[in-house]
Structure formats: structure tokens, C-alpha cells
Structure 1
Amino acid sequence: MAEMEDRWLSVDEICKHLGISSDTVYRWIDRFSMPAHRMGRLWKFKKDEVDEWVKAGGATTPENNKTR
């Protein structure tokens, strides 16, 4: 079962996991180096990598806070 928990997640799956839109995911990949891996035309994510990035404040920068 550990194999299934360590699988690659799609954009839709990572959106549901984080509670954000796909537009936000693509913006975070581009502007904030969200950990994502391009596989052909698709973006894939490791849940643990994304969770660590979020905990480290990955999308929280002074530039990001100005837009609020």
C-alpha cells in the first residue's frame, strides 16, 4: 500500500489536496518554483514534496503578499 501513497499526482489531484484552483497551481509553478515535474505535456507532483514546500512558505513571498 505504501506504493500507492507515493504515486505521482495530477494537477487536479494536487488542486483537491491543497484546496486551490488549477490556475493557482500553474502560477505557483511559474512564479514560486512549486515542486512539479513535467512529463510530456502533463505536470505531475509528489505529495510529500509539495507539502514540504508549502510548510516552508513556498508561495508566501513579499511579492505574493502585495497582491492581497
Structure 2
Amino acid sequence: MSEVESEILTLEEVAAYLKAGKRTVYRLAQKGEIPAFKLGGTWRFRRSELDRWIAESINKKKSEAE
């Protein structure tokens, strides 16, 4: 696994990466709708899992449109 694939991001970094609000990312994490885990009570995210989640979301929307 490369350094980028295993990179751990904070909630703030994910919000910037997704161009979404911090509250939105927090809510998605709480609901289990975005791949995340808690470390010491703070949400953390693996970049590789986020990229996979994004790709799956795009493919799902394409399938629904057909």
C-alpha cells in the first residue's frame, strides 16, 4: 500500500477534499454513510476508502440513470 493510499485524513481535510461543509462530512460519518473511524473520539478517514466510496457513488448514480 502506498503512502497516499494509506493516508489518514481529518474531518477538515475531508471537507476540503470533497468540497463539502465540515458539518456535512460529520453527519455522513455519524450515519455511517461515508467510510470513517474514530480515533481518540475524533473522526478519521482513509483517502483510499474515500476514493473507492466516491467511485462507487458515481457508478451507482450512472446505473440509476439508465
| TM-score with structure 1 setting the length | 0.69
Count of residues in Structure 1 that have an aligned counterpart in Structure 2: 58
In 2, the alpha carbon distance for the partners of 1:41 and 1:55 equals 28
Fraction of identical pairs, as percent: 28
What amino acid is the match of 2:36? Answer: A
Q: Which amino acid aligns with 2:24?
A: T
Report the Cα offset of residue 14 of structure 1: 0.8
Consecutive aligned runs of 4 or more in structure 1 exceeding 4 Å deviation: none
Q: How far has the Cα of 1:38 moved from its partner?
A: 0.5
Structure 2 counterparts to residues 50-65 of structure 1, below 5 A:
50-57=50-57
Deviation for aligned residue 1:31: 3.3
Q: Matched residue of 1:33: which SS?
A: coil
Structure 1: segments with no counterpart, 5+ residues: 62-68
Contact kept in structure 1, 2:9 and 2:47, CA below 8 Å? yes
